[in-house]
Structure 1
Amino acid sequence: MLRATLPRSFHPSRSLLGTLGIRAEDAKRIWERRSALTPTHVQRLIRNGKHKVLVMPSEKRCFTDQEYQAAGATITNDLLPHCDVIVGIKEIPQPHLLLTPSQAPTKQPTYLFFSHTHKGQSYNMPLLSTMLESGARYLDWELLTAPKGPSGKLERTTAFGHFAGFAAMCDGLSLLGTKLLASRGVDTSLIRLVRPSSSHGVEELNQQLVRAGKEWNRPKTGVVTISVAGKGRVGNGAREVLDAFGVKWVDLKGLKTVVADPNSDKNKIYAVHLELSEYLKHKDGKAFDREEYRSHPANFVSRFDTEVAPYTTLFFNGGYWAPGCPRILSTSQLAKIQKYGSPERMLAIVDAACDFDGALEFVKAATTIDDPVIQYNANSETISREPSQKGTTQISAVEIYPASLPKDASEHFSNSILPYVEALLEDPKTRQVEKGDEIAESLRRATLVEGGRLTPGHEHLYVALKGPQSISLKKRKVVVLGSGLVAGPAIRTIASRKELDVVVASNDLPAAEALAAPYENVKAVALDATRDGVLEQLVTSADVVLSLLPAPLHVGIAELCIKGSTSLVTASYVSPEMAALQSRAASAGITILPELGLDPGIDHASGCRLIEEARKSGNKITSFMSFCGGLPSPELSNCPLGYKFSYVARMLQRWSPRGVLTAALNSATFRLNGKDRTIAGADLLRSNFPRVPILPGFSLEGIANRDSVSYLEQYGLPKDLPTILRGTLRYPGFSRLVDGFKRLGLLSLNKLETVPVRWSGLLDAVLAESGHRAIKTRNERLEAMAKLLGGDKKLAKDCLATLEELGLAPTDAQAVALAQTLPTIPNELTAPLDLLSILLGHQLAYKPNERDAVLLHHELCTQDEKTGDIELFSSTLVQYGTSEASAMATTVGVPIAIGALLILDEQLTKKGIVTPSDPQVWRPLLKELDKVGVRMVEKRRKGIGRGVLEELA
């Protein structure tokens, strides 16, 4: 490795030495606490080289701003136009690279960071495009190389690989302890290992490993074995961990012997550091040849699934992989291992290489330091969070493991890059390259982009960029119509894609500006949706439109989208008028994606996945039930009706106060145990399901939701399915009270004959409509109510108490004080339903620091037609509101945004009207939702009956 003492030429002709900028890592990279240069090396640059160093402030960096100031650096956010060289660790956000002409510095700096573009990584091609457009010079730390050994072979000189391997294996051992306890019921010393992110560094971890190794004494487990792939820095970092633990190293033959021998010493962990030849075989049966593999990898195939996996408890992947190389393990191979192999093998995989959809086909995306593992079932291609889930492999794929050891990694890295930084500060463009100047030559080799072009040796990346002619300053544009609370999560999701321009259009410009303020690629504009000319201009300028406006406006917006060839995403149901646009939308080459929220939206997507999983069992599906509800979090459930209304709910109409109340007037059709049932609107609430036991911690009731039978076709279920039911969840007592309100006349759509003087007179005004006039006392009011409620005095008392609490019936003690806090009562004749809706929206609104909850639960039963055995499949989402967004806003806004991105990324290619029950939508939608923490928990259980259906039958 090159060190600061490496000789190189110095150029005394440079009278003014350079200014260095050290970037603060992107705030969104929560765990990225490393720094490219330590305060010690900054001090050296300033004192010895007479350079100036500017450091961006950061509260999360492992070295404090004060330490850099003490070293002589200036703390500032303004690196441009002062710096000749700017260094960082991870990718620099695109808006910080592509500046407008007025923002562009007079001199372009030279940038050094890990860009993750030189392999043609598709997810970072927009970043590479921006690097080209900016005109600056870009070097990639990963491309810094120097000749090594007699052969002069070029090898990397700067890397975090050793720390990646060390931290990943430490974490992998700790998390394997959890997997062994949960899935095998065995406590081991591994579970007491501190995770790297919670440690003080390498020294503490080594001490922990030594102690855990000495405490390993679990003869009741099967032999625990570890296979390590990769002989580079990453693999050697992992090996250092296992050496500290005290594993017994064997070769692959020895590993097979240990696993096969029931008398093997289980007081040891056995490990093998794999050779490529042990699992990569020539297709023609020839002996493995490393040089042939490097030049013609397609001639080889992996036999890892048969040669290594059956003998491995934990697999650590730290090897190199590139497109064209054989995969180590495919999804189908892992599926066979999980289905037919020993339950003690392939319990865990630590993928430190993180070549997504690469060496390990099933590793599609990164996990994070704070949420490091998933439990993956390759047979059903599903992910769960339960380490006890049978038939799953625990997978970790954290990209930034070195960031969990920030000081150790930063000190090592800073020492490695110091000579290169010194050289660049003397000559930022590396123009004076003298023969034998190894550092200057390394810098030239590491240059990826310069002067708006890819440098020789990297021009093949134009193919990944679809040719240099495709690089354009024009960004794709997303228009968001509406600025309600749903817009916040939607905009946050889309704005994270820095290559997109986002416009928030609203009739509430201050609200739109507040939404746009945190993001550099989002702007706000005023919009009057009733002015077709303005709206049409916005729609036609966009690549995709997200409409968060009221559902009645969506058909008109869709007409404009068809005219302007712009795709559209909404959360509203497909109305007959919208459905009639199918052929025109398809002819226009656009996608209209409606019903993409929570319900409808996530419910369709997760239901389809559950149905697909059940079909894979090969057994007959006998029932499908789905319940969904937006509720106050449990600690707020003692409010009137056990219900509250957010702004989001009011905007969505269906869950607005009026929408919730009118739902009680709808009829419902469903099928339960082979019997078709239709409930008239008048009887809906009295025919509720008093107990819906979806989770032990929630007490819930259910209400049938409209026409469930019509969903058989949409979900591809048989027409004669014995049970199909979709319902709404509420806390117990809701149906009884609202049914009481309905029978009292409070849900009437007929206007009152008189306008109540105050809100507390509404109940008496409604009672008067039924002939109960001149009520003077509370007892008279109760008697009148009981008569209308069929003599049910208990219900009358409960309804009156609730109405008094809401301010809709007189209470001497608080009438005056309460009246002062209520909204103005309309002075025109109004229907009781509308008056009740206005007051409920006020009285049951969420207050600051109150959170909501979203519950979505599906259950599906299958039956083995030979044995009669029943298997219960379930899928559950429980989402709580946060300080950033309500649960309802998140579960509506994020899916809409993901839908827009699916269209832009051409993952959704179908044209016309497409709903979330289409596999092109639900498959990627659920994967993306899982990444942002909106996760369905899926389970399969036998021998426990039919779940909720047992209660409802």
Structure 2
Amino acid sequence: MPKIKIGILKEGKVPVDHRVPITPAQANSIASSFPDVNVVCQKSNVRCFEDENYSSHGIELTDDVSSCDVLFGVKEVPIAQLIPDKTYFFFSHTIKKQEYNRELLRAVLKNNIRLIDYECLTNINSQRIIAFGRYAGIVGAYNGIWTYGKRYNLFHIRRASECFDLEDLQTEYKKVKLPKIKIVVTGGGRVAKGAMEVLNGIGIRNVSPAEFISKYFDEPVYTQLNNRDYNKHRDGKLFNRGEFFSNPEAFESDFKDFYQSADILIAAAFWNPNAPVLFTREEMLGRDFKIKVIADITCDIEGSIPSTKRPATIEDPIYDFDPTQDKVAPPLSDEGNITVMAVDNLPCELPRNASEDFGKELLANVLPNLVGEDKDDIIKRATIAENGQLRPEYAYLQDYVDGKE
């Protein structure tokens, strides 16, 4: 087969992202595992791994990656930096018709770029084969605990972004001293499991959803909810997971018992815009709404959680939500407000660990299908655009591209 030249991109999006799709050691291992692949690295002063880390592993450094066949980044590539007629891998944030990336997708099509979106890389069971979800969950839950401690001045722990790596972050757990609070985690995937890692590491007891809403505990506890635990069929039918995903409009929220019991919500569940919201602003105004801190890892703006009005940043990770006025307020400004942590790039706070896990999955699950036979059409299914056109699976984006919606 012909030689393939792969380039590791410098991240160009602002705010800066320190993650990498392939670490120096992983780039070096590609040469031995895939002899027909040559890897080069675009010089960068923003990565968690420095240029010298790549060169010391035998990877060529370059400013110009225009000779590469395939280019791997993490976040969206700025339009001005796109190179025509190349294959790109990155998170495009276009498949939900995100308005802020409409021009990016237009530029991809105009420049005859083959765009493969990490978010769309799935196996034959429609399960994602590469993601940063675990570290979104880890950092999101940690930030939620940090936020609670800050709100009530209970303890002081470093921010995740101030820790060198996960091992360093875990040394902060022993400083956490929580009262008899209840924490609810939504979701059952990578993100939720990452969040549970932190809660278990701190030593918070895991209880069943039924125990959570019906029992008193003399210690902090948490429960983890799947879709069936907080959604119910509008017609009173038994919950069916397949029907919920295929026809979410037929369901309504059944979260009331949990917002009446929980002090902290860690939202880690994927949300379909056609599915029920978790709760409404009107419910948040009720005297029985007990939640005071919301760590919205999903960060769906104006989505399933009405207090998530805008994304926060790593530098300014929290804001208050005033439900009486339906607006954002300065963080920790009023006891009647709900404090929201809604950072939309959480894995960036532990970039080394997040990059290592991501690159490991890329080498194991993606690269063999890219440079060899595309078993089960893994690459094909994730290709949004090719030869100046949207692929058939993504034809629904045409009106979005044309500005009709």
Relative contact order, higher structure (CA 8 A, sep 6+): 2
CA distance in 2, matches of 1:226, 1:198: 25
CA distance in 2, matches of 1:296, 1:386: 38
Question: Could you tell me which amino acid in structure 1 is paired with residue 194 of structure 2?
Answer: G
* Displacement of 1:42: 1.3
Aligned pairs for 1:884-895 (under 5 A) are none
Give the match's secondary structure for 1:284: coil
Structure 1 partner of 2:283: 333
Structure 2 partner of 1:451: 387
Aligned pairs for 1:192-271 (under 5 A) are 192-209=156-173, 211-212=174-175, 215-216=177-178, 218=179, 223-258=180-215, 261=216, 264-265=217-218, 268-271=219-222
Q: Does the CA contact (< 8 Å) of 2:331 and 2:339 recur in 1?
A: no
Q: Does the CA contact (< 8 Å) of 1:197 and 1:404 recur in 2?
A: yes
Matched, 1:83 2:46: no
Structure 2 partner of 1:53: 39
Q: Does the CA contact (< 8 Å) of 1:179 and 1:347 recur in 2?
A: no
* Displacement of 1:423: 4.8
Aligned partner (choices 153, 165, 190) of residue 137 of structure 2 = 165
Q: Does the CA contact (< 8 Å) of 2:11 and 2:46 recur in 1?
A: no
Q: Does the CA contact (< 8 Å) of 1:227 and 1:271 recur in 2?
A: yes
CA distance in 2, matches of 1:283, 1:167: 35
Aligned partner (choices 111, 117, 124) of residue 101 of structure 2 = 124
CA distance in 1, matches of 2:306, 2:389: 33
Aligned partner (choices 62, 71, 82) of residue 48 of structure 2 = 62
Question: Could you tell me which amino acid in structure 2 is paired with residue 365 of structure 1?
Answer: R
Give the match's secondary structure for 1:172: helix
Give the match's secondary structure for 1:462: helix
Which TM-score applies when normalising by structure 1?
Answer: 0.41
Question: Could you tell me which amino acid in structure 2 is paired with residue 457 of structure 1?
Answer: E
Coordinate RMSD, CA, aligned: 2.1
Matched, 1:389 2:334: yes
Based on CA coordinates, which of the two structures has the bigger radius of gyration? 1
Structure 1 partner of 2:269: 319
Aligned partner (choices 208, 228, 234) of residue 283 of structure 1 = 234
CA distance in 2, matches of 1:132, 1:325: 31
* Displacement of 1:386: 3.9
Question: Could you tell me which amino acid in structure 2 is paired with residue 321 of structure 1?
Answer: W
Aligned pairs for 1:107-506 (under 5 A) are 108-147=85-124, 153-181=125-153, 187=154, 191-209=155-173, 211-212=174-175, 215-216=177-178, 218=179, 223-258=180-215, 261=216, 264-265=217-218, 268-304=219-255, 306-334=256-284, 336-337=285-286, 340-341=287-288, 345-419=290-364, 420-421=366-367, 423-424=369-370, 426=371, 433=374, 437-438=375-376, 441-466=377-402
CA distance in 2, matches of 1:162, 1:111: 24
Which TM-score applies when normalising by structure 2?
Answer: 0.94
Q: Does the CA contact (< 8 Å) of 1:369 and 1:401 recur in 2?
A: yes
Q: Which runs of 5+ in 2 are unaligned?
A: none
Q: Does the CA contact (< 8 Å) of 2:307 and 2:340 recur in 1?
A: no
Question: Could you tell me which amino acid in structure 2 is paired with residue 300 of structure 1?
Answer: F
Give the match's secondary structure for 1:145: coil
Question: Could you tell me which amino acid in structure 1 is paired with residue 343 of structure 2?
Answer: V
Structure 2 partner of 1:606: none
CA distance in 1, matches of 2:275, 2:329: 30
Once the two structures are superposed, residues 260-317 of structure 1 have per-residue CA deviations (whole angstroms, 9 ceiling, x without a partner) of x4xx41xx2111101322321221222222122111111111132x221111111011
Question: Could you tell me which amino acid in structure 1 is paired with residue 227 of structure 2?
Answer: L
Once the two structures are superposed, residues 505-561 of structure 1 have per-residue CA deviations (whole angstroms, 9 ceiling, x without a partner) of xxxxxxxxxxxxxxxxxxxxxxxxxxxxxxxxxxxxxxxxxxxxxxxxxxxxxxxxx
Q: Does the CA contact (< 8 Å) of 1:45 and 1:422 recur in 2?
A: no
* Displacement of 1:256: 2.3
Matched, 1:93 2:78: yes
Q: Does the CA contact (< 8 Å) of 1:283 and 1:300 recur in 2?
A: yes
Give the match's secondary structure for 1:45: helix
Give the match's secondary structure for 1:197: helix
Once the two structures are superposed, residues 355-391 of structure 1 have per-residue CA deviations (whole angstroms, 9 ceiling, x without a partner) of 2221113313210011000011011123222414121
Question: Could you tell me which amino acid in structure 1 is paired with residue 9 of structure 2?
Answer: R
Q: Does the CA contact (< 8 Å) of 2:137 and 2:195 recur in 1?
A: yes
* Displacement of 1:249: 1.6
Give the match's secondary structure for 1:24: coil
Report how many residues are paired.
403
Q: Percent identity?
A: 30
* Displacement of 1:204: 2.2
Give the match's secondary structure for 1:192: coil
CA distance in 2, matches of 1:282, 1:95: 48
Once the two structures are superposed, residues 468-498 of structure 1 have per-residue CA deviations (whole angstroms, 9 ceiling, x without a partner) of xx79xxxxxxxxxxxxxxxxxxxxxxxxxxx
CA distance in 2, matches of 1:284, 1:331: 24
CA distance in 2, matches of 1:363, 1:126: 25
Aligned pairs for 1:327-726 (under 5 A) are 327-334=277-284, 336-337=285-286, 340-341=287-288, 345-419=290-364, 420-421=366-367, 423-424=369-370, 426=371, 433=374, 437-438=375-376, 441-466=377-402
CA distance in 2, matches of 1:63, 1:326: 42
CA distance in 1, matches of 2:32, 2:199: 42
Structure 2 partner of 1:891: none
Q: Flag as ranges the 4+ runs of structure 1 deviating above 3 A.
A: 421-424
Mark the CA change 1:144 to 1:341 in structure 2 (over 3 Å): closer, same or farther. Answer: same
* Displacement of 1:466: 4.1
Q: Does the CA contact (< 8 Å) of 2:369 and 2:378 recur in 1?
A: no
